[in-house]
Structure 1
Amino acid sequence: MTPPSHLAHFKDHVIICGYGSLGRTLAMNLAAAQIPFVVIDNQRQRLRLAQQSGHPFYRGDDLMDENELLAVGVDRARTLVAVLPDDASNVFITLIARRLNPNLQILAYGELPATESKLRFAGADHVVLPSSISAQRIVQLITRPTVLDFLEEKEERSHLIELLSQLDLQIEEFTLPLESPLLGLAIAEVEAKGRGRFIIVAVRRCNGSLVTHPPLSLPLQAKDTVIALGQAAEIQTFFRQHAPRYRRFRI
């Protein structure tokens, strides 16, 4: 996707998803630290505040659409901060951002303490809770190198699925039989066939190894089990057409 002209030059920048009170304070701190950033929000009133403060911004109608994140250069950014007011949206944005840029540093806000493990499983490097909210702390996290820590406990996956259900999303899995027309296709090609109705979040190879947040260029092989996230009705229809051994993802 071609980025807006005023954002085309942005590189190694910070993306602030959400311009509420925490997002505004964070933007002010980043500006003071002379760290390049762009704000993305879907509320006109909030974006007017960003404009009045002289902060670069972009209006995204659907912040959970990967094209909106690409418009603000998520593939070229160094850090994304998800500080939207609801935890489910922050989890989904984290999932999308991680797959679009595996090297991205992701900081996410969680209103409830129980959300921390879900955000980390989704791909967040750091989670900020109300008890530890500090815009200056987030700025410090942005400037520190981190190591991605994925949670793999079944209980955490179950909680993640429960949270995503608030967005009417379903995690499904299907195993590719030898006759599947998807064999040899890259993940990006499979998602294109699905017309954006789902994203592939993991692939379990036939040897049992699990590839989480797989690259879009990863080709699918016979007997791979693909784990995808999307609208339940749409994703089930697609999978049944292309993988006769389809079955719903179970924990």
Structure 2
Amino acid sequence: MKKQLLLLVLLFLGSIALLQSQVTGTVTDEDGTPLPGASVVKKGTRVGTTTDFDGKFSIDAIIGDRLTISYIGYQPKEVLINSTIMSITLVSGVQLAEVVITGSRNPNRTATESTVPIDVIDVKQLANAAPQVNLNQILNYVAPSFTSNTQTISDGTDHIDPASLRGLGPDQVLVLINGKRRHTSSLINVNGTFGRGSVGTDLNAIPTAAIQRIEVLRDGAAAQYGSDAIAGVINIILNKNVDELLINVT
């Protein structure tokens, strides 16, 4: 009788050890390459783990449980545990309903190797292609992030057009001449004009005939230049050739 009872206890302990077994395995792609960082979760529970650098995992589960394996860029898979050592293959190519590519840099005009997008505008070429004559209107024509509208019956903005980058205030656009700060105007925008209460830079006071190119950093640059560069930076490079007479007829 005692032997039978002891045998039953041993069988019971053995079944518990079997039920509390640990399942190990490897997750690979279709080519057999291990997938590190794949998610392995026991279905219906919060028990889970991730694969290591070699695609291997270990999880507390029993035979008969189900595992859900997922990985970015691959179709998730649900498998039934039928062995304590498993090999799981994920299929790549998650179907995308629509792919939208948004480009922010034109290689013909933008510095592509910079950390932020910088538009480099050749004023000499624009003089023959665009009908604009002052600097504000030229930038309106070629730079989508730049905005400047001519206003009337609006105090001093009849003569000094407020300009902005990305819709921010005129006092948040830093204007440089050959890399050095250009002074702002003495006009405070009032009477409901754009940028009311701010003081901007009079870009039209810079003759376009003296400009070689314009560099527009159309991103916030307050960390590099200060709070007046929240909207971005406009760097105007003047002609290197001096002591010459240049005549533009419009």
TM-score grouping bracket, smaller chain normalisation: under 0.3
Q: Which has the higher contact order (CA 8 A, sep 6+)?
A: 1
Decide which structure has greater helix share: 1
- Tell which structure's C-alpha radius of gyration is larger: 2
TM-score by length of structure 1 reads 0.21
